[in-house]
Chain A
């Protein structure tokens, strides 16, 4: 409990936290609003409007991942990690406390971002010839809640990577590379089999399946199994990160 309180204090008192959380909300809502405003019905009537209104998550996650990386790597760059580990010698406890605090903060930020995106989409969609979306609709609610969970999982992925790589720039590069390269290659690769595999098994492609509300049968992976695949990546990252944290000198 004290470890949690300590982590919360550290996170709260660093100015970059507030900036990054604000950036995450602004990027998510901003990109969602922009994409929703350029997709119009006579041309794209079949569009999945729920997924459309949550597009910003794809960019907002970059700020969330950066925040999570800094929670761990920031301590290594300032030397604070030695103080932290002197105070909480059980390293898994420290990692768990960090994970809990970051997850809590990201869940709140994610909820704000998702609600903002959905509200703006409700305003924009009718002007573009679509029916407005509603959170009372089952699949839309699942997509919205799932997107918040997705952001929390991305934060944990960042935390795991930072525990493994220590340096913030390296950890952020690894996380963003893992997230962004596969969707691009997956869209272009001239091999249907590999395209299918990438869509099923890579963190961003699989994880964002949670946002789909149309043609679920045609999806390469279902919404919840997709989020499950991302959770496996996160578990692996935390496991490797935790092990390295335990085994190495700080």
Chain B
């Protein structure tokens, strides 16, 4: 008789080893280390406090700019030379433009600034229909520009491209603006017979009698410069002037005045060419070359008009982005989460816990993915709280320190820009933590991982201030520091020549594109870390 021996079977149920369990175990590892939890809370606190502290000490230097308040309540530049007469009810105005070019003296720039083109790319002249001659009032305009072809623009922020190329005697540009109720339609043509519609503008509440006619403007020469040693860091430039030659003027509708009046709208009347230098808190204005002698703004002879003007009709872009500058304070929290991200894995290597972890879950890539998920989400949550608290308070402080409407518009938290800045800041810190985690998995030493990630993410910001503008911009395109563009608060319009430095808000990449660069770095580092973790012994 043979006895059958039953092999031993544990009465315990087999543990599930799905990804959820893995994430849960990593979360347990994080939350049970008291120092890490305290450090993460400190990171959230610093992310909130640093921007608030920076905004509380911020001084305002915007008194250098003259702006008007536009139809939407935001700051606008509305300085141009206007040759106008009233138009009552519906009607249209047509003109042919044969030339637009820069005139008058050029600003004398210190060494380091490259010479300006004679004609500003956004010098503009053509037809305009405006609610009144008050700066900032609603308008619609059809224009030729110095370097961007025919455009239709209205109410400062709207810009539509028409025919390309500059106006000349050989290749003139015909422009037409038609009013029908509150709607203005712009047309362009090369010969005066075949017309194409460029765009329409709906100016709600336009009065029955409006001012309409010809205009010319040329935005100030402005150039941002950065040189090594910071001797001429900042913005330099001065006013510019452009003159246009127009003929074949034809009016339809009711134009009761029957004669043209020329006049300057807003400021922007010549003035001495000045060099404005702003380097963070230091703003100096040096007098430049003497301004243009009182120019011949308007001449009318045998149906040919010459109109010359200075200034611009465009949204106002400040030289500094104060909220962005205050949000650089999140750097302190960033360095803390870099350390936490790195230690989340290097502590396991140091203590030998990694062997237990990998024995429990032999699929090593999944371990790293779970760690990245936990480190990323915890950092994201902590930084989100910090940034969301800092956002309204910092703006309140800026407001109190003189950053007021119309120069500075308070951005609501729940707006596209507000959410982008707050979520982007949280994302920036979270991705930095993941990058540090990956570096920790590759280097297996806490100190080395922290140093290399800080060198990659933070150091480019130092170099970007020191280097000349073009290499500085390349740094802000290629390194993970590009992601700081996600904190940009002041909108950048395509119809304005930007003249500010990267750290003042003029990043070479759009906000989310810059953030994407950092994500690519983190993904590449994670892929490298997974490869090495699978190949190497622990």
Which B residues are in CB contact (< 8 Å) with A188? Answer: 280, 325, 328, 503
User: Does any Cβ of B come within 8 Å of A232's Cβ?
Assistant: no
* Residue in B59, B111, B229, B232 whose CB lies within 8 Å of A190: B59
CA gap between A183 and B448 in the complex, in Å: 22
Which B residues are in CB contact (< 8 Å) with A180? Answer: 335, 454, 458-459, 462
CA gap between A51 and B231 in the complex, in Å: 13
CA gap between A47 and B231 in the complex, in Å: 8
Q: Are A184 and B458 in contact (CB under 8 A)?
A: yes
Q: Are B57 and A171 in contact (CB under 8 A)?
A: no
* Residue in A38, A52, A176, A191 whose CB lies within 8 Å of B281: A191
Produce 1/0 per residue, B220-241, CB < 8 A to A: 0000000111011000000000
Which B residues are in CB contact (< 8 Å) with A171? Answer: 447
Q: Are A46 and B231 in contact (CB under 8 A)?
A: yes
Q: Residue on A with the closest CB to B228?
A: A47
Stretch at the interface among A62-70, A106-114, A236-244: A62-70
* Residue in A43, A51, A193 whose CB lies within 8 Å of B468: A43
* A-facing residues in B350-375 (Cβ within 8 Å): 350
Distance between A39 CB and nearest chain B CB, rounded to angstroms: 5
* Residue in B332, B350, B467, B503 whose CB lies within 8 Å of A177: B332
Stretch at the interface among B194-202, B207-215, B338-346: B338-346
Q: Residue on B with the closest CB to A47?
A: B228
Produce 1/0 per residue, A130-169, CB < 8 A to B: 0000000000000000000000000000000000000111
User: Does any Cβ of A come within 8 Å of B142's Cβ?
Assistant: no
Q: Are A184 and B447 in contact (CB under 8 A)?
A: no
Which A residues are in CB contact (< 8 Å) with B447? Answer: 66, 69-70, 73, 168-169, 171-172
Which B residues are in CB contact (< 8 Å) with A215? Answer: 231
Which B residues are in CB contact (< 8 Å) with A183? Answer: 462, 465
Known contacts A35-B463, A46-B231, A190-B322; decide if A169 and B339 are in contact (CB<8 Å): yes
User: Does any Cβ of A come within 8 Å of B329's Cβ?
Assistant: yes
User: Does any Cβ of B come within 8 Å of A187's Cβ?
Assistant: yes
* Residue in A43, A176, A186 whose CB lies within 8 Å of B450: A176
User: Does any Cβ of A come within 8 Å of B449's Cβ?
Assistant: yes
Known contacts A185-B329, A189-B57; decide if A44 and B280 are in contact (CB<8 Å): no
Which B residues are in CB contact (< 8 Å) with A35? Answer: 228, 463, 466-467, 471
Which B residues are in CB contact (< 8 Å) with A176? Answer: 335, 450-451, 454, 458
Q: Residue on A with the closest CB to B338?
A: A173
CA gap between A47 and B225 in the complex, in Å: 13
Q: Are A190 and B503 in contact (CB under 8 A)?
A: no
Most buried by B among A66, A70, A188: A188
* Residue in B54, B338, B455 whose CB lies within 8 Å of A185: B54
Q: Are A184 and B57 in contact (CB under 8 A)?
A: no
Produce 1/0 per residue, A176-216, CB < 8 A to B: 11001101111111111111000000000000000000110
User: Does any Cβ of A come within 8 Å of B128's Cβ?
Assistant: no
Q: Are A172 and B350 in contact (CB under 8 A)?
A: no
Q: Are B446 and A44 in contact (CB under 8 A)?
A: no
CA gap between A194 and B470 in the complex, in Å: 29
CA gap between A215 and B229 in the complex, in Å: 10
Produce 1/0 per residue, B466-484, CB < 8 A to A: 1110110000000000000
* Residue in B61, B462, B471 whose CB lies within 8 Å of A184: B462
Q: Are B111 and A45 in contact (CB under 8 A)?
A: yes
Q: Are B342 and A169 in contact (CB under 8 A)?
A: yes
Which B residues are in CB contact (< 8 Å) with A235? Answer: none
Interface size on B (CB < 8 Å)? 55
User: Does any Cβ of B come within 8 Å of A170's Cβ?
Assistant: yes
Known contacts A44-B228, A63-B451, A180-B462; decide if A190 and B279 are in contact (CB<8 Å): no
Which A residues are in CB contact (< 8 Å) with B455? Answer: 27, 59, 62
Q: Are A190 and B320 in contact (CB under 8 A)?
A: yes
Q: Are A46 and B335 in contact (CB under 8 A)?
A: no
CA gap between A40 and B467 in the complex, in Å: 11
User: Does any Cβ of B come within 8 Å of A77's Cβ?
Assistant: yes
Q: Residue on A with the closest CB to B326?
A: A190
User: Does any Cβ of B come within 8 Å of A58's Cβ?
Assistant: yes
User: Does any Cβ of A come within 8 Å of B445's Cβ?
Assistant: yes
Q: Are A191 and B59 in contact (CB under 8 A)?
A: yes
CA gap between A48 and B232 in the complex, in Å: 12
Known contacts A45-B112, A52-B229, A173-B450; decide if A190 and B325 are in contact (CB<8 Å): yes
Distance between B437 CB and nearest chain A CB, rounded to angstroms: 12
Q: Are B228 and A181 in contact (CB under 8 A)?
A: no
User: Does any Cβ of B come within 8 Å of A103's Cβ?
Assistant: no
CA gap between A221 and B467 in the complex, in Å: 22
Most buried by B among A69, A169, A183: A169
User: Does any Cβ of B come within 8 Å of A117's Cβ?
Assistant: no
User: Does any Cβ of A come within 8 Å of B14's Cβ?
Assistant: no
Q: Residue on A with the closest CB to B472?
A: A38
Q: Are B459 and A44 in contact (CB under 8 A)?
A: no
CA gap between A77 and B348 in the complex, in Å: 12
* Residue in B332, B450, B465 whose CB lies within 8 Å of A187: B465
Q: Residue on B with the closest CB to A45?
A: B111
User: Does any Cβ of B come within 8 Å of A55's Cβ?
Assistant: yes
CA gap between A130 and B506 in the complex, in Å: 30
User: Does any Cβ of A come within 8 Å of B167's Cβ?
Assistant: no
Known contacts A168-B447, A184-B328, A194-B57; decide if A46 and B454 are in contact (CB<8 Å): no
Which A residues are in CB contact (< 8 Å) with B32? Answer: none
Q: Are A191 and B459 in contact (CB under 8 A)?
A: no
Q: Residue on A with the closest CB to B339?
A: A173
Distance between A122 CB and nearest chain B CB, rounded to angstroms: 17
User: Does any Cβ of A come within 8 Å of B34's Cβ?
Assistant: no
Which A residues are in CB contact (< 8 Å) with B454? Answer: 62, 173, 176, 180
Q: Are A187 and B280 in contact (CB under 8 A)?
A: yes
Q: Are B282 and A169 in contact (CB under 8 A)?
A: no
Which B residues are in CB contact (< 8 Å) with A47? Answer: 227-229, 231
CA gap between A214 and B445 in the complex, in Å: 41
CA gap between A48 and B231 in the complex, in Å: 9
Which B residues are in CB contact (< 8 Å) with A51? Answer: 228-229
Q: Are B279 and A44 in contact (CB under 8 A)?
A: no
Which B residues fall within an 8 A CB radius of A?
Answer: 54, 57-61, 111-112, 114, 227-229, 231-232, 279-282, 320, 322, 325-326, 328-329, 331-332, 335-336, 338-339, 342-343, 346, 350, 445-451, 454-455, 458-459, 461-463, 465-468, 470-471, 503
29 contacts across the A-B interface (CB closer than 8 A):
A27-B455, A38-B467, A43-B227, A44-B112, A44-B227, A46-B229, A46-B231, A46-B232, A47-B227, A55-B466, A58-B463, A62-B451, A63-B451, A70-B447, A169-B343, A172-B339, A177-B332, A181-B458, A183-B462, A183-B465, A185-B54, A185-B331, A188-B280, A188-B325, A189-B281, A190-B61, A191-B59, A193-B281, A214-B229
